[in-house]
Structures are given as structure tokens and as C-alpha cells.
Structure 1
Amino acid sequence: MDERKKGTRRRGEILEEAILHAAWEELSETGYTDMTMKSVATRAGTNKAVLYRRWDNKTELAIAAIHKYLPKITNDIPNTGSLRSDLCAYLHARVEPLRIIGVQTIRGLIMEPVVWRSIISSMPQIIERRSESKLTAAMAAILKNAELRGEISLEKLTPRIISLPLDLLQYELITKLEPVSDEVIEEIVDNIFIPLVHVQAGIIK
């Protein structure tokens, strides 16, 4: 319902909250491609001019809504009792938010020039900080737990090997532009990473 019909006028954080919530609902129900500033304004009970005073375009609005409402990824270290289960749990946690966003919205946002420029410009910083990455540190912690349980040896595992599951996950996301399936995660763990770790440690399976 429009604010004028309601006889009230929302301002500041209350209005912004209503707009972001409307944008999130639009993304969830119709996807990024079909979302418009007008549809968000209508759902929020306001007008397009109010939206444009805060966000230059629907890309900025969509990203703001995703930042606000998408469940945050935790970097908790699984310790289930087996390396395989720990790896699967950790990789699943990385991609779950993307499943919530949905394929259509992911692809729509990626095709926006402003999003691509942001991704490209951030790549050098991502590479430079690789050794300090929380994700890489989490992988090392998962492998350390496995070593303490007597499953593997870390002695011959290089940083490149340790980060391999995350690299493969990232490759899948970039090339397919969709959330990684459970089957792909299990293939990364069962057919690529764990066999490689065993070979490096001289373990024959």
C-alpha cells in the first residue's frame, strides 16, 4: 500500500528497511532479471524516486538487499570425526548462501558490468592475501584435525594442495555461474582431493 494512502510518511532507517526487504522479496520470488525499481517501490509502498535517492540502479539495490538478508557464512571448523565428512560439511557451507540467492539472480548479477569490474579489480588483492586467507586457514585446520586422528600426514602437503578444494569450488562457481551441487562437492572430495592427499603421504587406498 502507498504511503500516501496510509496517511503516514516513513523516513530514514525505517523506510530503507522496508525497501531492502521488498527488494529481497523480489529477488526471492521473481529473480534479479525480472526485478525492477518500480516493482520494488510498489512492494515497499513508496515510489521510484525514493529508491533512486539511495541507490543509483537496481544492481546496487540488489547487492544491498543481499548483504542485509543473506545468511552470513560462518567460518566454523567442522570436526565430525572424519576428514571426508569435515571437508564435505565445510564446502557445503560455502555454497549454501548461493543456493538461497538462486541461479537466475547469480547469473543476472554476474552479467552486470559493475559487478564484473568489481570482481576483476579484486582479483590481485585476493591472490596477494591467499596465504592469509581465512578459508585457507580453515582448510589447514581441518587437515590438522585429520592428522591428529591419524588419518593423514601434513608433512608433504603444500599450500597449493591444501587450498585445492576451494580452488575447484571457485572454478565451478565461475565457469557454471550457479551453486555447486552436492554431487560435485563429493566428487571434489572423494575423487580428487582425498586420493591426492593419500598419494602425497604414501598411503595406498
Structure 2
Amino acid sequence: MTLEKATRRRGEELENAILDAVWDEISEKGYGGLTYEGVAARARTSRAVLYRRWPTRTDLVLATVARLGRRTPRVAPDTGSLREDMIELLRYSNSHRLGMWVVLSVQLAGFYAETGVTPADLRARLLGDRPSLVPEIVARAVERGEARPDLSERVLRVPFDLFRSEAILRLGPVPDEEILAIVDEVFLPLVRT
């Protein structure tokens, strides 16, 4: 009978296991249910390891959100049409990022109240230094003559602001007809030449 020595996780492998555990705990239990004990058990490590790296729950949440942003792939559609690019981008978010936005908006309500961190602060941490894809898509549309060049940042945020609002209100996927309405009835009339 041979006993295999357990390999101790360190560095990035351990950090990934911990931050995955934090996200899973928040997703299932909300910020109010996030405990060092729960994270340690889920990540199969000790509370001491967590406290050494992240002394507060706030630190745990901020590190988890930053990692989530780094790991979320960017999809920049380039169909040759502003309308189709925006629809594709919103559909991708609907199928791949929706759960993330719902968790950040709903499950972290207590976090915002307790820490003073805002959803906008978390969004900035999530995106890091990666710019939004909408200005890139619109810049291509401007070159093709499909959009005005003088659009404000507020106008460029409209499609995703409406999309997130719909997702939060539904606590689930945004129906395709709503995505089409966001693009056709609101965004395109705002940006067209």
C-alpha cells in the first residue's frame, strides 16, 4: 500500500482556488453569507491562509472581482454593420456574462452598504485598464459613415446600461426582442448620422 503525499498548492493555483470559492460563495449566499470559514472549506485551505492574503471580506471581494475581469474574455464583433455588431455584443453578454452582472448587482447589495464601494467602483475594477468595446465598434461605424463622430460617453454607455437594467429586473436573461429594441429603438437613433 502506497501513500501518496498530498501536494500543497501555492501561489497562483492556491489564489485561483480561493477566489473561485469566494465567487461561488457570493453567487450562492450573497455577501451576507460570505464567511472566511465557508471560503476556506470550499477552497480546501485554512482561514489563516485567507487572512494573510486578504485581511477583510472587502479585500476578498475586490480581489475576486479584479480576477473575474482579467479572466473574462473580450469579444469584439466586426460584422461590417454597427447594428449587427451591437446585437452580437449584447447577445454575447446575455449568454456569457449575465450571471456575473446579476451577482454584482443583487448579491453584493450588503457589500455596497457596508463598504461604501459603489457598483461603478466594482465595474472599474472588473474592467481594469481594458476599455469598453462599444467605442471601438462605434469608431468603425463612424469610419463607414454609420454613426456621428461627436458622441458622448453617456450615449456610448446607453446600450449596456439598458441591458443591465433589464437583466437585473428579470434576474435572468434578457429576451432577444428586448436586445433588438435596445439597439433599434434607442441606440441607433441616438448615434446615426
Aligned residue for 1:32? 30
CA contact under 8 A between 2:86 and 2:183: conserved in structure 1?
A: yes
Question: Is 1:167 the equivalent of 2:143?
Answer: no
Aligned residue for 1:129? none
- Which whole-Å CA distance do the structure 2 matches of 1:10 and 1:75 have between them? 32
TM-score, L = length of structure 2: 0.64
Cα 1:179/1:166, change in 2 over 3 Å: farther
CA contact under 8 A between 2:26 and 2:103: conserved in structure 1?
A: no
Aligned residue for 1:158? 150
Question: Is 1:72 the equivalent of 2:66?
Answer: no
Task: Name the amino acid aligned to 2:72.
Answer: K
**Tell me, what secondary structure is at the counterpart of 2:34?**
coil
Task: Name the amino acid aligned to 1:88.
Answer: I
Backbone CA RMSD of aligned residues? 3.9
Deviation of 1:93 (Å): 4.4
Deviation of 1:81 (Å): 3.8
TM-score, L = length of structure 1: 0.61
Relative contact order higher in (CA < 8 Å, ≥ 6 apart): 2
Task: Name the amino acid aligned to 1:173.
Answer: R
CA contact under 8 A between 1:32 and 1:62: conserved in structure 2?
A: no
Aligned residue for 1:62? 61
Q: Percent identity?
A: 31
Aligned residue for 2:180? 186
Aligned residue for 2:128? none
Alpha-carbon deviations, 1:26-76, whole Å to 9, x = none?
Answer: 345x24343322111112222222212211333432342343345424262
- Which whole-Å CA distance do the structure 2 matches of 1:68 and 1:22 have between them? 12
Task: Name the amino acid aligned to 1:106.
Answer: S
Cα 1:111/1:167, change in 2 over 3 Å: farther
Alpha-carbon deviations, 1:69-109, whole Å to 9, x = none?
Answer: 45424262x22243321121234445665413262453222
Question: Is 1:89 the equivalent of 2:88?
Answer: yes
Task: Name the amino acid aligned to 1:72.
Answer: T
Aligned residue for 2:117? 117
- Which whole-Å CA distance do the structure 1 matches of 2:149 and 2:83 have between them? 17
Aligned residue for 2:141? 143
- Which whole-Å CA distance do the structure 1 matches of 2:173 and 2:67 have between them? 23
- Bigger Rg over Cα: 1
Q: Name the count of aligned residue pairs.
A: 177
Aligned residue for 1:107? 106
- Which whole-Å CA distance do the structure 2 matches of 1:102 and 1:40 have between them? 21
Cα 1:185/1:67, change in 2 over 3 Å: same
- Which whole-Å CA distance do the structure 2 matches of 1:36 and 1:122 have between them? 20
